[in-house]
C-alpha cells in the first residue's frame, strides 16, 4: 500500500503554512518589499543563462572555435 500513500498529499504545490513562515522569515531577515524580491529573483533567473553563454563564448574564443 505504500505506492498509494502519494495520493494522501494535498493539491497545493507546497504547504501553505510552511510557505507563509518562509516568506515571513525572508521579510524579517532582508527587510525588502515584495517588488524588490521579485526584481531580484528575476535578475538572478536572467543572469544564469547570460553567464553560461558568456563562459561558452569565452571558451570558444580561447580555443579557436569557428
Flag whether 20 is in a domain. no
Flag whether 13 is in a domain. no
| Cell digits of residue 58 | 569565452
- pLDDT confidence of residue 23: 83
Number of domain units in the chain:
1
Reported as a single tens digit per residue, the pLDDT across 10-63 is 666 778 888 888 888 888 888 888 888 889 889 999 999 999 999 999 999 988
- pLDDT confidence of residue 43: 95
Flag whether 5 is in a domain. no
| Cell digits of residue 60 | 570558444
Distance CA 40, CA 46 (A): 10
Listed in sequence order, the DSSP H helices in 1-66 are 16-30, 34-62
* Whether the predicted model's global pTM rises above the 0.85 cut: no
- pLDDT confidence of residue 36: 86
Distance CA 57, CA 61 (A): 6
Domain carrying residue 52: 34-66
Flag whether 57 is in a domain. yes
> Residue 37: is it exposed, middle or buried by C-beta count within 10 angstroms (0-12/13-18/19+)?
middle
Amino acid at each position: 500500500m505504500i505506492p498509494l500513500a502519494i495520493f494522501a498529499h494535498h493539491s497545493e504545490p507546497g504547504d501553505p503554512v510552511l510557505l507563509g513562515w518562509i516568506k515571513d522569515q525572508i521579510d524579517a531577515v532582508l527587510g525588502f518589499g515584495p517588488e524588490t524580491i521579485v526584481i531580484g529573483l528575476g535578475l538572478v533567473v536572467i543572469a544564469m543563462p547570460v553567464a553560461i553563454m558568456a563562459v561558452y563564448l569565452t571558451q570558444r574564443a580561447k580555443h579557436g572555435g569557428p
